[in-house]
């Protein structure tokens, strides 16, 4: 059984409120869970200490038992100093896709071809 430490959504429409729970990875997001270990209220200010309430001892115990935190929960645990979140780097993120690169190359070739006769006419 693979355990995850993840968020379950609660609250009203456009007023999210999350519980941080330990659950079987196969169970639905808002479905059955094993234990609630904290809460996350994104509607509160970022500097508000009540924005993330997390039982650090329970989180450490579940991690020792093999539970894997999701990306968002790993951020909370990193801020609490429990786990270290590795830095991510994707240098290809800003590059356009293959088709867009092909279209840009075609446009550059067409502009170069259009500029060549204009330069020849200017020289004559």
Where b means 16+ CB within 10 Å and e means fewer, 26-56 reads eeeeeeebeeebbbbeeeeeeeeeeebebee
7: pLDDT confidence band, cut at 50, 70 and 90? Answer: very high
Per-residue confidence band for 87, with pLDDT thresholds at 50, 70 and 90: confident
Question: Residue ranges of the domains in the chain?
Answer: 3-80, 95-124
Cβ atoms of 58 and 35 closer than 8 Å? yes
| Lookup: tokens for 8 | 């379950």
**Could you give the count of Cα atoms lying within 13 Å of 108 in the half-sphere of its Cβ?**
6
Residue 93, pLDDT score? 84
Q: What is the side-by-side order of every strand in the sheet holding 3-12?
A: 52-54, 35-40, 15-24, 3-12, 68-69
The fold for domain 3-80 equals: S16 Ribosomal Protein; Chain: A; (3.30.1320)
pLDDT at 108 over 60: yes
Specify the DSSP class assigned to residue 95. S
Over the stretch 44-63, which tens digit does the pLDDT of each residue have? 999 999 999 999 999 999 99
Predicted pLDDT of residue 67: 94
Is-contact 40 51, C-beta < 8 A? Answer: yes
């Amino acid at each position: 059984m693979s355990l995850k430490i993840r968020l379950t959504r609660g609250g009203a429409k456009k007023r999210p409120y999350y519980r941080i729970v330990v659950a079987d990875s196969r169970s639905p997001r808002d479905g059955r869970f094993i234990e609630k270990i904290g809460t996350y209220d994104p509607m509160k200010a970022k500097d508000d200490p009540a924005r993330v309430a997390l039982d650090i001892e329970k989180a450490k115990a579940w991690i020792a038992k093999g539970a894997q935190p999701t990306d968002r929960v790993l951020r909370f645990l990193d801020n609490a100093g429990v786990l270290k979140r590795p830095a991510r780097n994707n240098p290809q993120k800003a590059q356009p896709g293959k088709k867009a690169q092909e279209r840009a190359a075609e446009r550059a070739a067409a502009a170069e071809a259009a500029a060549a006769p204009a330069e020849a006419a200017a020289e004559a």
